């Protein structure tokens, strides 16, 4: 049993080292210039060890994105429970700003369409899991997709225009253009998309 626990702990440590290495390297070079060898070297593991944990660089990036999403949701959960949309949106922008290089690389940089599509998929799955329930209707599913994809697109614009809009103002933009309209949509769903309606 001790050997299994020790092996599990080693896997966790190695994955964390690889995620941290990727995050650190993203602040030093464009994503497309970061090689698996560089990540492994920065993490202090062998090149072959990388592939025992991740199939490729994109898989590591998806894991980094997932960990960031989980960390943010943990931070913002009390605000969501209080239904404080503006505070939640501002908290999101502050979190992105605190982890700027990796978010810039993942969302607005050279991550590529495949990584961005995987980030959207992973974020949707993580947010859905954090909600603790499956979508109850087509509207529920559409709202989740709309919120996540819209916020990612707005963040991509912001990360390319940081000199024009600060984090607090960007949080207000997200609240006013995405979160509040979605709240109204959920209170008064379109005909045919009500929970239990024909589309559910």
- Position 197 scores a pLDDT of 44
DSSP string, 88-114: HHHHHHHHHHHTHHHHIIIIISTTHHH
Which residues of the chain, if any, have pLDDT below 70? 1-7, 109-116, 130-136, 186-200
What does the radius of gyration of the chain's CA atoms come to, in whole angstroms? Answer: 19
pTM of the full structure: 0.78
Q: Show the DSSP H helices in the chain as ranges.
A: 2-26, 36-43, 47-53, 57-81, 85-98, 100-103, 112-131, 138-159, 167-174, 180-187
Question: Where do the structural domains in the chain lie, given as residue ranges?
Answer: 1-54, 56-187
Residue (of 196, 123, 180) closest to 153 by Cα position: 123
Class of domain 1-54: mainly alpha
Query: What's the rounded Cα separation, in Å, for the pair 200 and 133?
Result: 15
Residue 18's SS3 state is helix
- Position 105 scores a pLDDT of 84
- Position 190 scores a pLDDT of 65
- Position 29 scores a pLDDT of 87
């Amino acid at each position: 049993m001790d050997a299994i626990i020790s092996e599990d702990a080693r896997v966790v440590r190695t994955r964390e080292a690889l995620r941290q290495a990727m995050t650190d390297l993203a602040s030093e070079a464009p994503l497309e210039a970061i090689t698996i060898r560089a990540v492994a070297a920065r993490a202090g593991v062998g090149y072959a060890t990388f592939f025992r944990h991740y199939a490729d660089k994109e898989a590591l990036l998806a894991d980094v994105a997932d960990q960031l999403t989980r960390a943010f949701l943990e931070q913002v959960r009390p605000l969501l429970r209080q239904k404080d949309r503006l505070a939640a949106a501002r908290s999101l922008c502050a979190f992105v700003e605190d982890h700027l290089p990796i978010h810039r690389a993942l969302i607005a940089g050279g991550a590529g369409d495949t990584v961005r599509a995987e980030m959207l998929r992973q974020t949707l799955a993580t947010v859905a899991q954090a909600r603790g329930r499956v979508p109850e209707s087509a509207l529920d599913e559409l709202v989740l997709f709309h919120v996540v994809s819209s916020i990612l697109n707005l963040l991509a614009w912001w990360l390319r225009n940081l000199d024009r809009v600060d984090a607090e103002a960007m949080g207000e933009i997200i609240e006013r253009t995405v979160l509040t309209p979605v709240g109204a949509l959920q209170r008064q769903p379109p005909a045919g998309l009500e929970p239990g309606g024909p589309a559910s």
